[in-house]
């Protein structure tokens, strides 16, 4: 979802607070009174941290409810039964014998599970208990208590009970929210990214957070539009709330209560769900109804059902760095170095001089014909899917692409077909000349993405290719660059926000072809026409440029969404606004996948001021 024109009108006086004590009780009737009162009394603090719209507050509260089990307590519930310890933790973390020994002993459970990680000083200390999950947005472990204490200027590492007090706990949560700019993800209604920013790349508790958002929006914030808050309209991609039973099915799958392939549409699914619920109810000491009654829903929303995964998985990034920084891959020796303000690159038409012998060689033609499209893991859905056999969903409705039969003009001659080896076979992408020797493209045309990924090699680039002709020659590559977030993210769903890169050529072919300009995109471009210009692998004959037009439907801070028709091979294509001349404002990255708005729209990586600075750096090398 995107929020369009959402602002508090200066001409309308608010008839009520954005969130009140009664509002919180509507979301979670069993919320602790003192914790609810602390939120209701913190209007000035929320304003200081920019949480001043319904959507931002709904997201903030949905995360708080997820972290605290409905705002019932500010410390993590470590009161596990033996059966729950065995179900939720692996035997690597706790043996059956140890589970029997520590069950229903919260301090001992915490010291065993957390004592030797997150900066804690061993299972023989009380660190696991002292630094258990605490706060409205919970922090866990001595190292995190120390870091957050510096952020809010409170000695919570020396006195961890402070983090479990309403005032200090809320200050810590708001400091965390602002430090990670979670308001931007909330404005986009990007629930997964909000959860990643709160919990980390694994986004544990994501299904629970969606349930709590449903409750917050449906029970409280949907009705506040007429009370002097936002005067703009919300444009929903697939609706702002989801079916609650389906969300609880997700929770049950993630908790291991039903199989991963459980489907509510299959015959017998209701009986299977009922039996799973009865087993869960018995384990948690609830009445065995086999139904999603209120008590069972509350138990499934307990952080016990997801927080154990934080203890199970320890991700150690190679380094902590800004995901918007650049990473360089030297394509001659295989080493990597790091790159570190003008705000645009101006277009240049070049000389347009055509080569004397424009035909591709037989070897070049064969390599280009044999090559296949490359797709990002996040679009394919799993690392095990082979790009060679993946079929994208990226032609939306009637195919309106138009063929370019003469690539000698501008900007056609600055559009580049890119051939490279992905480690298994040769692949194709599109790119755009942005300097005499630099091609802007998608990150997944350079590296497979995430810390587990690999860089690609053996680049051959043909600007203005026209079927069997290379009117301006061809080049190799000496270096490639991506945003740090593309190669240092832990998951592909996190990496997709940083799918951007560039290739440094071994020649100055841009002096002939010219290059397109690059600039940032303003937030007021919604509904304006979009243009995608690239090489599509599903069209005949191979090696022809195609142009697709649509309009900008949704704009997030890091991504944009449209329904321009694309296909494999178009990855890395320039995205232009029809009124912006020969300037690129984004790079096409993917077709339909996942949840909304990704499920209904193709997407591009947006050029932001920070990224513009990085692109200028790449082009100037």
* CATH at 206: 1.10.530.10
In a domain, 398, yes or no: yes
User: 191, 224, 239: which is the final residue of a domain?
Assistant: 239
482's enclosing H/E stretch is strand 477-483
Between residues 333 and 354, which one has the greater pLDDT? 354
Query: CA end-to-end span of the chain, whole Å?
Result: 38
**Does residue 446 sit in the same domain as residue 366?**
yes
In a domain, 470, yes or no: yes
Indicate the pLDDT class of residue 333, thresholds 50, 70 and 90.
Answer: very low
User: 90, 107, 130: which is the final residue of a domain?
Assistant: 130
Q: What is the pLDDT of residue 523?
A: 87
* CATH at 555: 2.40.10.10
pLDDT in tens, 378-390: 998 865 566 666 7
**Does residue 154 sit in the same domain as residue 274?**
no
Q: What is the pLDDT of residue 174?
A: 93
Indicate the pLDDT class of residue 91, thresholds 50, 70 and 90.
Answer: confident
Structural domain tally of the chain?
A: 4
**Does residue 251 sit in the same domain as residue 362?**
no
**Does residue 233 sit in the same domain as residue 249?**
no
CA gap 482, 471 in Å, rounded: 29
**Three-class secondary structure of residue 382 per DSSP:** coil
Q: 146-150, 446-450, 474-478, 541-545 — which is least confidently predicted?
A: 146-150
Of 490, 107, 164, 543, nearest in space to 367 by CA: 543
pLDDT in tens, 212-256: 999 999 999 988 875 555 654 354 433 566 788 889 999 998 888
Q: Say if residue 457 is exposed, middle or buried (CB neighbours under 10 Å; 0-12, 13-18, 19+).
A: middle
**DSSP-assigned letters across all residues of 236-250:** -SS-SS--HHHHHHH
CA gap 505, 514 in Å, rounded: 14
Q: What is the pLDDT of residue 401?
A: 97
In a domain, 8, yes or no: yes
**Three-class secondary structure of residue 418 per DSSP:** strand
Is 71:51 a contact under the CB 8 Å cutoff?
A: no
**Does residue 538 sit in the same domain as residue 552?**
yes
Is 546:380 a contact under the CB 8 Å cutoff?
A: no
* High-pLDDT (> 90) share of the chain, %: 65
Q: What is the pLDDT of residue 315?
A: 38
**Three-class secondary structure of residue 531 per DSSP:** strand
**Does residue 192 sit in the same domain as residue 63?**
yes
User: 315, 346, 370: which is the final residue of a domain?
Assistant: 315
Packing angle of the helix pair 244-254, 269-283 (nearest 10 deg): 60
In a domain, 564, yes or no: yes
In a domain, 136, yes or no: no
Mean pLDDT of the chain: 87
In a domain, 320, yes or no: no
**Does residue 235 sit in the same domain as residue 249?**
no
pLDDT in tens, 436-494: 999 999 999 999 999 889 999 999 999 999 999 999 999 999 999 999 999 988 888 88
Would you please indicate which residues are annotated as catalytic (active-site) residues? 444, 571
**Does residue 458 sit in the same domain as residue 537?**
yes
What backbone phi and psi angles, to 5 degrees, belong to 510? -65, -20
In a domain, 421, yes or no: yes
**Does residue 215 sit in the same domain as residue 293?**
no
**Does residue 174 sit in the same domain as residue 210?**
yes
The two structure tokens encoding residue 338: 């790091």
Side-chain half-sphere exposure of 439, counting CA atoms within 13 A? 40
pLDDT in tens, 507-521: 999 999 999 999 998
Indicate the pLDDT class of residue 407, thresholds 50, 70 and 90.
Answer: very high
Residue 337 has pLDDT above 60, yes or no: no
> Residue 56 sits in which domain range?
2-74+143-239
Between residues 574 and 357, which one has the greater pLDDT? 574
**Does residue 417 sit in the same domain as residue 491?**
yes
Q: Find the mean pLDDT for residues 47-68.
A: 96
What backbone phi and psi angles, to 5 degrees, belong to 483? -70, 145
Q: What is the pLDDT of residue 388?
A: 63
Q: What is the pLDDT of residue 229?
A: 58
Q: What is the pLDDT of residue 386?
A: 67
Helix ranges (DSSP H) in 220-329: 244-254, 269-283, 294-300, 304-312
Indicate the pLDDT class of residue 522, thresholds 50, 70 and 90.
Answer: confident
* Cβ neighbours around 58 below 10 Å, total: 28
Residue 95 has pLDDT above 80, yes or no: yes
**Does residue 580 sit in the same domain as residue 564?**
yes
Q: What is the pLDDT of residue 87?
A: 84
Residue 334 has pLDDT above 70, yes or no: no
Q: Say if residue 478 is exposed, middle or buried (CB neighbours under 10 Å; 0-12, 13-18, 19+).
A: middle
Q: What is the pLDDT of residue 227?
A: 54
In a domain, 371, yes or no: yes
Q: What is the pLDDT of residue 525?
A: 92
């Amino acid at each position: 979802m995107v929020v369009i024109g959402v602002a508090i009108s200066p001409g309308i006086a608010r008839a009520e607070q954005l969130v009140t004590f009664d509002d919180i009780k509507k979301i979670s009737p069993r919320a602790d009174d003192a914790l609810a009162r602390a939120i209701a009394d913190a209007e000035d603090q929320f304003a200081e941290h920019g949480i001043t719209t319904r959507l931002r507050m709904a997201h903030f509260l949905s995360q708080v409810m997820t972290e605290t089990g409905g705002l019932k307590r500010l410390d993590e519930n470590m009161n596990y039964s033996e059966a729950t310890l065995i179900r939720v933790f692996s035997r690597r973390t706790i043996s059956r014998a140890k589970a029997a020994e520590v069950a229903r002993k919260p301090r001992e459970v915490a010291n065993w599970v957390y004592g030797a990680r997150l900066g804690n000083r061993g299972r023989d200390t009380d660190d696991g208990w002292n630094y258990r999950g605490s706060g409205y947005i919970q922090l866990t472990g001595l190292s995190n208590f120390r870091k957050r204490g510096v952020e809010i200027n409170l000695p919570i590492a020396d006195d961890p009970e402070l983090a479990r007090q309403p005032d200090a706990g809320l200050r810590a949560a708001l400091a965390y929210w602002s430090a990670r700019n979670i308001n931007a993800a909330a404005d986009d209604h990007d629930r997964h990214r909000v959860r990643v920013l709160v919990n980390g790349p694994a986004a544990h508790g994501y299904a629970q957070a969606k349930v709590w958002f449903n409750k917050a929006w449906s029970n409280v914030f949907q009705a506040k539009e007429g009370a002097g808050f936002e005067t703009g309209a919300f444009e929903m991609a697939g609706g702002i709330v989801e079916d609650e039973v389906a969300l609880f099915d997700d929770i049950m799958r993630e908790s291991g209560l039903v199989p991963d392939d459980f489907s509510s549409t299959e015959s017998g699914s209701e009986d299977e769900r009922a039996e799973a619920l009865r087993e869960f109810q018995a384990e948690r000491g609830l009445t065995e109804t086999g139904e999603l009654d209120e008590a069972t829903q509350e138990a499934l929303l307990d952080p016990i059902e997801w927080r154990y995964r934080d203890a199970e998985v320890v991700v150690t990034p190679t380094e902590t760095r800004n995901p918007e920084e650049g990473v360089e891959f030297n394509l001659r020796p295989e080493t990597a170095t790091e790159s570190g303000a003008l705000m645009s690159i101006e277009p240049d038409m070049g000389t347009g001089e055509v080569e004397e012998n424009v035909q591709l060689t037989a070897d070049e033609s064969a390599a280009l014909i044999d090559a296949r499209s490359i797709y990002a893991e996040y679009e394919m859905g799993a690392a095990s899917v082979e790009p060679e056999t993946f079929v994208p969903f990226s032609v939306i409705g009637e195919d309106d692409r138009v063929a370019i039969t003469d690539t000698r003009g501008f900007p056609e001659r600055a559009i580049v077909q890119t051939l490279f080896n992905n480690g298994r076979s040769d692949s194709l992408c599109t790119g755009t000349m942005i300097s005499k020797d630099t091609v802007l493209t998608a990150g997944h045309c350079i590296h497979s993405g995430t810390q587990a990924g690999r860089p690609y090699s053996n680049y051959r680039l043909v600007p203005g290719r026209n079927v069997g002709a290379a009117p301006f020659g061809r080049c190799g590559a000496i270096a490639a660059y991506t945003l740090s977030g593309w190669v240092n993210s832990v998951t592909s769903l996190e990496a997709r926000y940083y799918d951007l890169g560039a290739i440094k050529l071994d020649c100055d072919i841009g002096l002939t072809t010219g290059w397109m300009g690059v600039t940032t995109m303003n937030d007021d471009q919604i509904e304006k026409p979009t243009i995608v210009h690239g090489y599509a692998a599903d069209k005949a004959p191979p090696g022809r440029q195609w142009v697709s037009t649509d309009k900008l439907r949704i704009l997030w801070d890091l991504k944009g969404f449209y329904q321009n028709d694309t296909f494999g091979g178009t990855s890395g294509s320039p995205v232009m606004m029809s009124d912006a001349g020969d300037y690129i404002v984004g790079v096409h990255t993917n077709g339909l996948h996942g949840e909304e708005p990704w499920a209904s729209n193709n997407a591009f990586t947006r050029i932001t001021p920070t990224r513009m600075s990085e692109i200028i750096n790449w082009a100037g090398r």
